[in-house]
Amino acid sequence: MGRQASLVLLNALSLSRLPMAAAFIAVPDTKARAALVLLAALSDFLDGWLARHKGLATRLGALIDPVADRAFMVTAILVCYLDGLIGLPEVLVLLVRDIGTAIGFLVTRLVPRLRPVELKARMLGKVVTTLQLVTLLCVLLYPPVVRPLVALIGVLSLASVVDYCRAVLQARAPARGASRQSGSRDGATRRPSAPMHPVRK
């Protein structure tokens, strides 16, 4: 299979979480919803593993994957809230990392000096995502442990937002330095030549 076809399949695997989110809304059965959470977690693991180990990581894939993740996660959390399975405080805690990450993404796109920064997944963010999936399963299948998990997610989410902001600021310096070096190289190549003296005839 060619690289282009592999990339299409990989992105399709990531985007499969969007119809899973729609199915989570449409299917009221608790066990079916738990199965959808497991499928979403499996697809997230597979597309990440394939991208890393098969050399298929791209900037488009790095954008599609988290968007599909957040779409499924936010949809599932809001559906559980509307069904009365979790309260509003738990919803806010579960989504604090996503809100912070979304704000950070918008800032990096709107602030010119931050645009060269390439946004990458962070380990703390992956841990929070895993705990969110585990919490969703517990909301559906074993509610007594939901509150301790939500409290843990709240602490790690705040740490994740701080880590994300620090990574963006650290990445800004090399990007800015590279642009300055590029500008200095351009200036060197465009240095005006010495004036030509008139030739006597």
Contact 161, 100 (CB under 8 A): yes
Of residues 48 and 12, more confidently modeled: 12
Average pLDDT of span 103-127: 73
State the residue for tokens 């298929």: 56
Q: Which CATH class is domain 3-187?
A: mainly alpha
Percentage of the chain exceeding pLDDT 90? 39
State both tokens at 67.
């968007």
Specify the pLDDT at position 176.
Answer: 55
Contact 40, 100 (CB under 8 A): no
Specify the pLDDT at position 152.
Answer: 95
End-to-end CA distance of the chain: 71
Of residues 191 and 55, more confidently modeled: 55
Percentage of the chain exceeding pLDDT 70? 79
